[in-house]
Chain A
Amino acid sequence: MLHFELVTPARLVRSEAVWQVVVPGTEGEFGVLEGHAPFMSTVKDGTIKIYRTQGAQPEEIQVQGGFAEVSAKGLTVLAEHVEG
């Protein structure tokens, strides 16, 4: 499972283990699964899709002013504004 964290300046919105997260990167959407190579990207304003398990309905969260970092520890998305 992928460890996913969504953080805003005011609070830690999510910190959980999920199957896959699809992030709207500035240069195109990308999906992050467990074991993804270290990676940093800015995120354009849009929707993050969180798949808890394979094939499940994704949960959608609107983000603004985001930044994503994939490291050995998992995926961290820093966003200035979050809705949903």
Chain B
Amino acid sequence: MASLKELKLRINSVKSTQKITKAKQMVAAAKLRKAQSAAEAARPYAGRLAAVMASLASKVQVGEGSPKLLAGTGKDQVHLLVVANSDRGLCGAFNANIVKAAKAKAQELIAEGKTVKFYLVGRKGRAPIRRDFPSAIAGGFDTTTVREAGFAEAEKIANELLAMYEAGQFDVAHLFYSRFRSALAQIPTTQQIIPVPAPTVAVANDGGAVVDYEPDEEAILADLLPRYLRVQLFGALLENMASEQGASMTAMDNATRNAGELIKKLTIQYNRSRQAAITTELVEIIAGAEAL
């Protein structure tokens, strides 16, 4: 049985841990709201671009002369896995889930005899992936220098990926991130980003009006493809941020509750041993008085 003093110290230590988790939970809740509104603000652009891409893609035949971003390199050998993680911990299994999905995909591709490379965004994915695939990391992007990743970061990542693609360093790129469903549910998601899959948005019928293109459809499509990639990355970063905060909120809520339970248990134990000590003392006094 721990002494009274030890118990007291233990209770205090759990209490201060609870304070931290509680504070982190509140911060996450506030940041989640911000991340959600950022994700919402990005929706019009992404939606419209996807609609335009869909209507263009339905008009353009994919063939020899198509842009490489749409048609692919003609090979399927080297796969680049772009893994987007967060920079901070204290968010439950958020990063672990994304890394797990990426590793599973990597094993699957390796089993098929493909070459796998990684491109890592964010700090928390580096260590676990480096441990399992030490030589496969082709690059990475550091987001620790900015408060929150925005379109500028997405643009830099996209440009770097495009340069690698142009240099023939990979044939297919997959993006791993966590889609935000709710504060309780974040879904690790895999998405092929290069070659760009044709968007599957229902093409809005413009009343049969003939649309003029300037320059022609193919030129516009070639121009829009890199932008589409940037928007996809930007969307993924935003989803990731919202997911991180959601996961953090849930994890910290659990931690706070667990700490509360622990404190309750320890307090009961503390009181019990205190009473036992008092009883023993009383018994000793009474026994002493009777002996006189």
A residues adjacent to B (C-beta < 8 A):
5, 7-12, 25-27, 37-42, 65, 67, 69, 71-72, 76, 78, 80
Q: Is the CB of B214 within 8 A of A26?
A: yes
> Is A7 in contact with B214, judged by CB distance below 8 angstroms?
no
Asked whether B41 lies within 8 Å of A11 as measured between CB atoms, the reply is yes
Query: Top 3 A-B pairs ranked by shortest CB distance?
Result: A41-B214, A38-B211, A11-B41
Query: Is B1 positioned at the interface, with any CB of A under 8 Å from its CB?
Result: no
A77 CA / B21 CA spacing, docked (Å)? 45
Q: Which residues of B contact A38 (CB under 8 A)?
A: 206, 209-212
Does B151 make an interface contact (CB < 8 A)?
A: yes
CA distance A7 to B227 in the complex (A): 14
Find the B residue at minimum CB distance from A8.
Answer: B45
B207 at the A/B interface (Cβ < 8 Å)? yes
6 CB-based A-B contacts, threshold 8 Å: A9-B154, A10-B38, A10-B41, A10-B45, A40-B211, A65-B227
Which label, helix, strand, loop or mixed, suits the secondary structure of the A interface?
strand
* B interface, CB within 8 angstroms of A: 38, 41-42, 44-46, 48-49, 52, 150-151, 154-155, 206-207, 209-215, 219-220, 223-224, 227, 230-231, 234
Chain A's nearest CB lies how many Å from the CB of B154? 8
A76 surroundings in chain B (CB, below 8 A): 48
Is there contact, CB below 8 Å, between B213 and A41? yes
Residues on A with beta carbons closer than 8 Å to the beta carbon of B210? 38
Asked if B41 and A39 make an inter-chain contact with CB atoms under 8 angstroms apart, the answer reads no
Decide: A71 and B215 in contact? CB cutoff 8 A. no
Given A38-B212, A40-B213, A65-B227, A9:B52 Cβ within 8 A: no
Besides A10-B45, A40-B211, 15 new A-B residue pairs in contact (Cβ under 8 A), listed by A number: A7-B45, A9-B46, A9-B230, A10-B151, A38-B212, A39-B211, A40-B52, A40-B212, A40-B214, A41-B220, A42-B214, A42-B223, A65-B227, A71-B211, A80-B227
* Chain B residues within an 8 Å CB radius of A65: 227
Closest residue of chain B to A76, judged by CB?
A: B48
Find chain B residues with CB under 8 A from A25 CB: 214
Nearest Cβ on chain A to B189's Cβ, whole angstroms: 19
Q: How far is it, in angstroms, between the C-alpha of A39 and the C-alpha of B206 when the chains are bound?
A: 11
Nearest A-chain residue to B214, judged by Cβ: A41
Query: Which of chain B's residues have a CB closer than 8 A to the CB of A7?
Result: 44-45, 48
A72, B211: Cβ atoms closer than 8 Å: no
Q: B155 to chain A: which residues have CB within 8 Å? A: 80
A9 touching B209, Cβ below 8 Å: no
CA distance A46 to B223 in the complex (A): 17
Q: Is the CB of B214 within 8 A of A78?
A: no
Complex alpha-carbon distance, A38 and B209, angstroms: 7
